[in-house]
Amino acid sequence: MSTTILGYKISAPIMIGPTAMHQLAHPEGEVATARAAAACNTIMILSNMSTCTVEEVASSCNAVRFFQLFVLKRRDISAQIVHRVEKNGYKAIVLTVDTPRLGRREADIKNRMVAPQLRNFEGLLSTEVDTDKGSNLEALVKEIYDTSLSWEDIGWLKSITNLPILIKGVLTHENARKAVEVGVAGIVVSNHGARQLDYTPATISVLEEVVHAVGGRVPVLFDGGVRRGTDVFKALALGAQAVLVGRPVVYGLAANGERGVRRVIEMLKDEFELTMALSGCPSVKDITRSHVTTEFDKPRIIHQMITSFTSQHNDVSERKNRQLLEVVVLWFQSSTSVANANLSVDLSLKFKAKSCPQHQLLLQQFLNLRSRLLRGAAEPLTPQNKPKIS
């Protein structure tokens, strides 16, 4: 199950993503999370908004750590934090780019959330913000985050550190290509836990778009919604090199500190290993695109099916071919699952058989081909295997 991220070997393609303020979950905060990451031989990405300092986390254990950065209006303070990170042995900077402003977090507003002291800023700037309503975290972000962050600032960040820079918050192929052009060392497909913008696309739905845009030039990591080992498997099948886990880690930390975080990672690893075994994958490299089917595969499959049937049944009239294609299109439009798809085809078979026995045979062959295509097992049509209509 092991893999390598930016040259660092980890026990499984499961990393601990950046989440803020761990001392809200457990008194030991990020120190406990870092120890769990070290015990599980994986990488932890420490949040810029942590309640333990970069120095405390670095001295707590011997492990590979990255640091997640928000760029502040006070660029000199951001530069100081980056220098501290580099001095304390962190191996990469993960720049979050999807938070020029904080999304509307209604639970925080309703509960009038008061953020704890953010220790990385001690002596550099005050994180106490006076607000008579809502969340003081929202007010703090508005006060200190740089809303003018742009692609040009990647160059500025590269000028103040020798660490590799990954960019977190990419959801489109345009931004993925631009990120590679400006020289990032990796991309994290993320929608910030869907907490920034309502109706933002699920990251699993855009992962493959980003992977194709990058074309293997830099690693692509996946963030968002990982709750099971099967989720890890799906992300890797769609091209991710590893996944980041956020909320489950905080849940484990709240439940049982370091041991809770370790248990979360172990559960995901065990489930992932079982999924690999049951899918016939002895190693991570054996996980391929053919192991998953998505909604976006429908146009590809329908194109193959229509091409196959229209090219091989010249003896069936144009009207009947058109009827067949109508059934195919209706089937795809009505199919929200494999079970529904099979049901709709069964109904189509019965309906068409009443008017044309040839269509029953055609649709049965169509159903068989569909099943093979979804499994990735369809063979090219040849004169030897080409279906015949008598």
Write down the catalytic residue from 22, 26, 192, 313.
Answer: 192
The first and second tokens of residue 362, run together, are 């055609």
The first and second tokens of residue 88, run together, are 């304390």
Note if 192 is an active site residue: yes
Average pLDDT, the chain: 83
Which among 223, 189, 221 has a CA at the least distance from the CA of 206? 189
**Looking at the predicted structure, is the pLDDT value of residue 133 above 60?**
yes
**Looking at the predicted structure, is the pLDDT value of residue 353 above 80?**
no
Provide the CB-side half-sphere exposure for 347 (13 A, CA). 12
Which among 10, 5, 9, 47 has a CA at the least distance from the CA of 253? 47
Residue 322: its pLDDT value, please? 56
Phi–psi pair at 345, nearest 5 degrees: -70, -40
Residue 370: its pLDDT value, please? 59
348-383 burial code (b ≥16 CB/10 A, e <16): bbeebeeebebbbbbbebbbebbeebeeeebeeeee
Residue 138: its pLDDT value, please? 74
240-274 burial code (b ≥16 CB/10 A, e <16): bbbbbbbebbbebbeeebbebbbebbbebbebbbe
Distance separating alpha carbons of residues 389 and 366, to the nearest angstrom? 13
Element (H, E) at 173: helix 173-181
Reported as a pLDDT band with limits 50, 70 and 90, residue 103 is confident
Residue 139: its pLDDT value, please? 76
Torsion 181-187-189-190 (CA) sign: negative
Strand partners of residue 8:
5
Compare 5 and 294 and report the one with higher pLDDT. Answer: 5
Residue 102: its pLDDT value, please? 82
Question: Helices 229-237 and 247-278: crossing angle, nearest 10°?
Answer: 70
Span 195-222, pLDDT tens digits: 888 889 999 999 999 999 999 999 999 9
**Looking at the predicted structure, is the pLDDT value of residue 160 above 50?**
yes
Compare 144 and 368 and report the one with higher pLDDT. Answer: 144
Distance separating alpha carbons of residues 316 and 115, to the nearest angstrom? 71
378 with 372: CB under 8 angstroms?
yes
Reported as a pLDDT band with limits 50, 70 and 90, residue 104 is confident
**Looking at the predicted structure, is the pLDDT value of residue 283 above 80?**
yes
Q: Percentage of residues in the chain with pLDDT exceeding 90?
A: 58
Reported as a pLDDT band with limits 50, 70 and 90, residue 268 is very high
Span 6-50, pLDDT tens digits: 999 999 999 999 999 999 999 999 999 999 999 999 999 999 999
Q: How many CB atoms lie within 10 A of CB 109?
A: 14
**For the residues of 267-292, what is the DSSP string, one character each?**
HHHHHHHHHHHHTT-SSGGG--GGG-
Least confident of 43-47, 62-66, 118-122, 209-213: 118-122
Residue 354: its pLDDT value, please? 47
Domains of the chain: 3-289 (3.20.20.70), 295-374 (no CATH)
Least confident of 145-149, 170-174, 368-372: 368-372
Residue 324: its pLDDT value, please? 57
Span 222-235, pLDDT tens digits: 999 999 999 999 99
Q: Is 359 helix (H, G, I), strand (E, B) or coil?
A: helix
Residue 108: its pLDDT value, please? 79
**Looking at the predicted structure, is the pLDDT value of residue 383 above 50?**
no
Distance separating alpha carbons of residues 125 and 138, to the nearest angstrom? 17
Distance separating alpha carbons of residues 266 and 12, to the nearest angstrom? 10
Residue 384: its pLDDT value, please? 46
Torsion 31-37-41-44 (CA) sign: negative
Phi–psi pair at 277, nearest 5 degrees: -65, -45
Residue 329: its pLDDT value, please? 56
Phi–psi pair at 9, nearest 5 degrees: -80, 130
Residue whose tokens read 């908004």:
49
Residue 118: its pLDDT value, please? 82
